[in-house]
Amino acid sequence: MALQTVNMKDMETKLEILNIIKEWDTIIIHRHERPDPDAIGSQCGLAELIKANFPEKSVFTAGSSTGNLSFLADMTPPDKEDYENALVIVTDTANVKRIDGKDYHLGKQWIKIDHHPLDDSYGEIEWVNTEASSCSEMIADLWITFPEELSMTTEAARLLYAGIVGDTNRFLYNGTSPYTMQITAELMKYSFSHTDLNNEMNVIKPPLAKLMGYVLDQFSVSEEGVGHIIIDQSTLKEMGIEDKDTNGVVSLPGSIEGVKTWGIFVQQTDGHYRCRLRSKGPVINQIAKEHDGGGHPLASGANAADKEEIEAILNKMKQAADSWESSK
Ligand SMILES: [Mn+2]
């Protein structure tokens, strides 16, 4: 097994995390709300690894049910008492307020493992690797780094593979590195069916297919190359779609000719708009930060109180697109 070259990055932190995991009998793993495959893959992949290598430990996975992604894993939630003598690990979650399962603070020790830019420090140990494609890649990296101490299982490999495929949009996003491909190749040596898994991840429910049609039809692009669409509550209701299902259309506008950066603005039940900002070059996370959000340079989330604030965000994106164009 094992790669020829172990990733030496963050070696001390990885060793520290492995040692802390060994010390605790009870380990509770959290991830972010509205989970995506990487949130579940990193959380449950790590849980599988720990359970397989340290069978005497009690390992729990906390957070709301996984809904559409239950083919990946179901949660094994702890009771409140389980936190009394537990290590809490949070994966794939940049901000404390996005942690799913609000009892995380009851644990006795706290570790953060994440690949988002470091906005909100938390945990006694923070392992943040913004070069990793996904948090699942980081968990696989932990395994590759300590192959004598951690052996992989087919189920953990399946979960970590799903997380990497999810966060890289099937290896298309710029976070995909040669190391991502090497790690994925190692995971593919385990005997899960990646074809079945990919097929399951690619299933689109009919209401989402309708929304995709709506987005492609109604989407507009400015002369600066900034695309946007606003989806209001009445449209969601008409199509029988909930906000959480709109994830499936976020990458869609990226393939329309001339689009450099784009925003999908979905009205929430309280009237405000959840903004998903994406980019093929212009940096947009600073804009997201100025509007109650944050994230990666090319993929961020924000919030807009009303259409005027959406307009303000779009104007900043136009400036970002222009200055990116002139810096080329
Ligand atoms: Mn992620």
More confident site: 173 or 79:
79
Band the pLDDT of 328: cuts 50, 70, 90: confident
pLDDT tens, residue by residue, 240-285? 998 878 888 998 999 899 999 999 999 999 999 999 999 999 999 9
CA of 189 to the centre of ligand 1 (A): 23
CA of 32 from ligand 1 middle (Å) equals 9
Residues 6+ apart with CB under 8 A from 137: 115, 160, 163, 164, 179, 180, 183
pLDDT at position 64 is 95
Ligand 1 centre and the CA of 228: distance in Å? 24
SS (H, E, C) 75-92: CECCCHHHHHHEEEEEEC
Report the pLDDT value the prediction gives residue 6, as an integer from 0 to 100. 63
Q: According to the model, what pLDDT value does residue 145 have?
A: 94
Measured distance CA(187)–CA(261) in Å, rounded: 33
Tens of pLDDT, residues 135-157: 999 999 999 999 999 999 999 99
Q: How close is the Cα of 181 to the center of ligand 1, in Å?
A: 16
How far, in Å, from the CA of 134 to the mean position of ligand 1?
Answer: 5
Helix H or strand E segment including 29: strand 26-30
Q: Quote the ligand 1 centre to 122 CA distance (angstroms).
A: 17
Answer yes or no: are the C-beta atoms of 174 and 298 closer than 8 Å. Answer: yes
With a threshold of 0.85, does the pTM exceed it? no
Q: How far apart are CA 66 and CA 74, in angstroms?
A: 6
* pLDDT given for residue 1 in this prediction: 47
Question: How far away, in angstroms, is 234 Cα from ligand 1 center?
Answer: 30
Distance 223 CA to ligand 1 centre (A): 32
Q: Average pLDDT of 165-175? A: 93
Name the packing angle between helices 135-145 and 37-53 (round to 10°).
Answer: 20
pLDDT band at 119 (very low <50, low <70, confident <90, very high): confident
